Amino acid sequence: MSSARSRLLHQIYTTLRQAYGPQGWWPADTPFEVIVGAILTQNTAWKNVRRAMDNLKAAGLLQLQALLQADEDQVRQCVRPSGYYNQKTRRLRTFCRHVAQRWQGDLEAFLTQDMEGLRRELLSLNGIGPETADSIVLYAAHQPSFVVDTYTHRVFSRHGWVPEEVSYEELRNYFMDALEPDVYLFKEFHALVVRVGHEHCGRKPSCPGCPLEPLREE
């Protein structure tokens, strides 16, 4: 564990926490809702996911067996606001089918297996990449797998903390190797990076008022 990197990361976390307060992310009532949201949020804004989730909830489809047994066209229409609705419908049903067949529909057993095994199994499923897998591991299974995304890459590369060409796994390990495996810390840190990224680190940076500006390396 790099002590210098650990100190830097805790300084970044503390700075963001003081600026924005606790984030309480992920907004969901059940682990299955987290999983559905993690799949639907691919390539879209959360407001669109929220509309799709509301549609699924109104249709009684925010349960694994219900979603698996539902008419496919009904699912497509529900998730339509999230975009790529044909693709996302297939991905949702692939996940549900996998848990139904391999785990006899026992989502709790699936989520409570060891973290690396769970992550590997998620990554083996069509349409679930590293960010989606880590979101499910952290927010649905409550296991310490750090989530990195576009905002993480922008914030950390623009401030000079990681190279611009850093890969997903390298960026994930940047956190995993330097932080204690604390689920609450990982959840809050990820959410805070998304918050500062959304407000200040879009495609075009907006640095004035960014709480991390004083920490930027020249």
Does the pLDDT of residue 173 top 70, yes or no? Answer: yes
In the prediction, which pLDDT does 43 show?
94
Alpha-carbon separation of residue 154 from 67, 149, 157, 210, 211 (angstroms):
35, 9, 5, 13, 15
**What is the rounded CA–CA span in Å between residue 113 and residue 13?**
29
In the prediction, which pLDDT does 217 show?
78
Three-class secondary structure of residue 41 per DSSP: coil
Does the pLDDT of residue 154 top 90, yes or no? Answer: yes
Tell me the pLDDT tens digit for each residue of 77-136. Answer: 999 999 999 999 999 999 999 999 999 999 999 999 999 999 999 999 999 999 999 999
Res. 216 pLDDT band, cuts 50 70 90: confident
In the prediction, which pLDDT does 1 show?
58
Does the pLDDT of residue 12 top 80, yes or no? Answer: yes
The candidate with the shortest Cα–Cα distance to 137, out of 157, 153, 155, 123, is 123
* Residues recorded for the chain: 218
**What is the rounded CA–CA span in Å between residue 67 and residue 5?**
43
Tell me the pLDDT tens digit for each residue of 175-215. Answer: 999 999 999 999 999 999 999 999 999 999 999 999 999 99
What would the two tokens of residue 85 be?
A: 């609705």
DSSP per-residue string spanning 109-155: HHHTS-HHHHHHHHHTSTT--HHHHHHIIIIIS--------HHHHHH
Tell me the pLDDT tens digit for each residue of 18-40. Answer: 999 999 999 999 999 999 999 99
The candidate with the shortest Cα–Cα distance to 195, out of 178, 212, 179, is 212
Q: Give the chain's domains with CATH numbers.
A: 3-24+146-215 (1.10.1670.10), 31-140 (1.10.340.30)
- Average pLDDT (162-182) is 98
In the block, tokens 């890969």 appear at 167
pTM of the model: 0.96
C-alpha neighbours within 13 Å on the C-beta side of residue 5: 15
